[in-house]
Structure 1
Amino acid sequence: MSYGDYSVTPWEAKGKIDYDKLVEEFGVEKISEPLLEQIRKITGDLHPLLRRRFFFAHRDLGLVLEDYLSGRGFFLYTGRAPSKAPMHIAHIVPFIMTRWLQEKFNVNVYIEIPDEEKFLAKKVESLEEVEPYVKQDILNIAALGFDENKTFIFRDSEYIGRMYKPAVLVARHINFSTARAVFGFDGETSIGLIFYPALQIVPTLFEKKRPLIPCGIDQDPYFRLQRDIAPRLNRFKTSEILAKLAWGLTGPESKMSASEPETAIMLNDSPEAVKRKIMNAFTGGRATVEEQRKLGGAPEVCTVFHWYTLLFEEDDKKLEERYWACKTGKLLCGECKAELVKRINNFLSLHSKRVADAERKVSKFMYDGKLASEMWNWEFKT
């Protein structure tokens, strides 16, 4: 939906997002310090994405923790809609958070691969255009370390026989005026995309436990609808932990886009491509070395520092040192970029090896693992 100078939908985000206003408009809550402390007590630590408030808002996170402590448990659900380009590092941020939550709470994870979404949203011209990237996206996700016996990865087009009946039940409860108000549908929207939210909601019905969804705040509209419908289907309302949108390399208000490769670090980028992109990235530096030494930089608007904050510096003390070294002119942009290039390339090299390993065991996530085997026999029952 559009909010003055910016707009946020599940398919597109434009402009400089006012997250305080978005929290108010969406009706979510910021994650409080007491909630973070409760997670820390249960897990023994906090993931940097939580500590640094990149995951900053929630719905009913307190109820999820109550369910866990009471022994009722919960489950995790997230997903990825393949497009006509490879995944980039911003795409894997929600999956990294999801994997950490699975490890710390020892719960099931359901990962939907809606291989039809981009076609219905008119972002690609054919279903076949997406196909090469579906398989690679699944491998990229499986490579992040999920428990193969507690994780089910499924494609909509393949699993639709199990999804269709509950999707029809969900769709029955969503009228067009509500869908239009929530998603901003208009006269050019395909009727397939209007039905699609029902499919997004189905995995929240897989278990008679509370679902927790780690996702970007742009995906929240789906689950606002689910919260209206779930009690009628004898299921829990979804809970969420919601992330801000990661910056692209062209500035603090930009987004990584697979269709604009220079804005993003792709998971299959070569070391040379990573170096070129990072060395050309927008920073908060000054025009000359002399000015940088004298006046210092502005890490608050630096895309390079942003990615240290998200994935490439786990140590809070070292991150703070880097911040102040930039701020006081002791650290030059070229030095900071060169170090990030090294860290990203190390990450991508390790990820590539894990993808090769995932090829050998991906069937356990999709068909042969304990949870996968159970889900191929799943039927929706109230």
Structure 2
Amino acid sequence: METKELLDENLSLKQEIKRLLDENPSLKQLFDEKQSSSKQEIKQQSSSDDDERETESPSSSSPEQQTVTPWSVRGKIIDHEKVIKQFGCKKIDEPLIDRVERLTCRRAHVFLRRGVFFAHRDLDKILDRYERGDKFYLYTGRGPSSESLHLGHLIPFLFTKYLQEAFKVPLVIQITDDEEKIWKKLNKEESKRLGRENVKDIIACGFDASNTFVFSSYATVGGALYENLVEIADCITVNKANSTFGFTGEVSTAKMIFPSVQAAPSFSSSFPHLFPAKKNIPCLIPCAIDQDPYFRLTRDVAARLEFIKPALIESKFLPALRGNNGKMSASDPNSAIYMNDSNAHIEKNIKSSVSGGRDNKEDQKKIWSKSEGYQILFFFFLVNNVKINTNFLSLHSCGKPLITK
């Protein structure tokens, strides 16, 4: 058909539609409303697409963008202030640290004083309870993905030991050997074996054996613990799990149920043998900040189940030695120092750690506190702040490894 014929036919059709609408006022009103609605939807969609491009463009183009989830931490240098805003937790301030010292009659742990543990949820409420003489307990855990714990894994356990001693409270430690089967595809027996090996490192931290309960998911989930697990799972919709963890349609049902496994120990009624008289004692959970989504979801369902929301005190990440990731990770043995490493292997890894490598002394001084070797000293080995500043500056020569002997 010729172009002119098409245009003529289109014009005739428009004229016929106009005639019908003019003859039927009610039909014309309906048509006008529909046309206006369609234009508005197109405008909103266009605006939405623009907004989406504004927010997604940096993530798709910037190699420095950070990702913090329970299963993945990526980013050259993690912006922990940004994580606080993203997760909606609160920063630990000096008055809160002073209050901890006053109530425990001891100096705060170095991890607290230096901001290694830097964020919290309801820590102030736990301190309120303690000040009134009411009970609480500690809950932490470990997903056994390696033969031994590395320094990053030790941070919550060393801090939990301090909390147990300072507040004289019970502690439960969950070994989530099921987690490694679900997420890392380890076979069941290997997951159990790694769990037993990891417990050796955990025990070595020196917890009060008479006031500590260590259990594995495979061996212990049943009875009251399983009852609470089912109650929690029944409160979590698929949509809620998807929005919290970013699950997709390809995720197994085991991954969908696992958050409830980790949530159940947050409630004291899961342990009638430990808390026989009182069934609603709150817990304080020391953990790395990447675990926050689990317990944010737990706190959401607590009120529906008439439980007290668990409180959290959350730590920063110990950087990977090679500076190529957000934290030390069991998936990269060269990024970490393990409890079972030989002295020679530790020395080799420390010497090859990133120390800045700037072209001149002034630039090197500007970034010295961000180097991975310094972070290990800062987190663990130099307790005195004056000493760490003076010693580090004398050790940190421009463009050379941090430690040479």
Letter in 2 for 1:265: I
SS at match of 2:210: coil
Letter in 1 for 2:73: A
Deviation at 1:62, TM superposition (A): 0.7
Deviation at 1:333, TM superposition (A): 5.3
How far apart are the structure 1 equivalents of 2:101 and 2:388?
20
How far apart are the structure 2 equivalents of 1:71 and 1:125?
44
Deviation at 1:172, TM superposition (A): 0.7
Structure-2 change in CA distance of 1:294 and 1:219 (3 Å): closer
Structure 1 residue 127 and structure 2 residue 188: aligned? yes
Counterpart in 2 of 1:375? none
Structure-2 change in CA distance of 1:173 and 1:294 (3 Å): closer
Counterpart in 1 of 2:234? 172
Is the deviation greater in 11-20 or in 174-183?
11-20
SS at match of 1:298: helix
Letter in 1 for 2:126: V
| Superposition RMSD in Å | 2.2
Give the 5 Å matches for 1:75-224.
75-121=137-183, 123-162=184-223, 163-206=225-268, 208-224=280-296
Does structure 1 conserve the Cα–Cα contact (< 8 Å) formed by 2:148 and 2:201?
no
Deviation at 1:251, TM superposition (A): 1.5
Deviation at 1:297, TM superposition (A): 7.0
Structure 1 residue 13 and structure 2 residue 73: aligned? yes
Counterpart in 1 of 2:403? 337
SS at match of 2:177: coil
The alignment covers a number of residue pairs equal to 331
Counterpart in 2 of 1:309? 378
Does structure 2 conserve the Cα–Cα contact (< 8 Å) formed by 1:215 and 1:243?
yes
Counterpart in 1 of 2:46? none
Which of the residues 293, 309, 323 maps onto 1:237? 309
**Per-residue CA distance 1:194-218 (angstroms, 9 max, x = gap):** 0011111111112522211111110
Letter in 2 for 1:6: Q
TM-score by length of 1: 0.81
Letter in 1 for 2:240: T
How far apart are the structure 2 equivalents of 1:154 and 1:313?
33
SS at match of 2:222: helix
Task: In structure 1, list runs of 5 or more residues that go unmatched.
Answer: 340-382
How far apart are the structure 2 equivalents of 1:140 and 1:23?
30
Does structure 2 conserve the Cα–Cα contact (< 8 Å) formed by 1:258 and 1:266?
no
Deviation at 1:262, TM superposition (A): 0.9
Is the deviation greater in 35-44 or in 170-179?
35-44
Which of the residues 350, 353, 359 maps onto 1:281? 353
Deviation at 1:246, TM superposition (A): 1.2
Letter in 1 for 2:140: T
Structure-2 change in CA distance of 1:278 and 1:297 (3 Å): farther
Which of the residues 329, 336, 342 maps onto 1:257? 329
Structure-2 change in CA distance of 1:333 and 1:75 (3 Å): farther
Which of the residues 22, 26, 37 maps onto 2:87? 26
Does structure 2 conserve the Cα–Cα contact (< 8 Å) formed by 1:85 and 1:259?
no
How far apart are the structure 2 equivalents of 1:78 and 1:188?
29
Does structure 1 conserve the Cα–Cα contact (< 8 Å) formed by 2:317 and 2:326?
no
Structure-2 change in CA distance of 1:54 and 1:252 (3 Å): farther
SS at match of 1:247: coil
Counterpart in 1 of 2:118? 56
Deviation at 1:338, TM superposition (A): 4.8
Does structure 2 conserve the Cα–Cα contact (< 8 Å) formed by 1:252 and 1:302?
no
How far apart are the structure 2 equivalents of 1:175 and 1:6?
28
TM-score by length of 2: 0.77
How far apart are the structure 1 equivalents of 2:172 and 2:221?
15
Task: In structure 2, list runs of 5 or more residues that go unmatched.
Answer: 1-55, 60-64, 269-278
SS at match of 2:209: coil
Does structure 1 conserve the Cα–Cα contact (< 8 Å) formed by 2:78 and 2:326?
no
Q: Percent identity?
A: 36
Structure-2 change in CA distance of 1:145 and 1:250 (3 Å): same
SS at match of 1:24: helix
Is the deviation greater in 317-326 or in 259-268?
317-326
Deviation at 1:87, TM superposition (A): 1.9
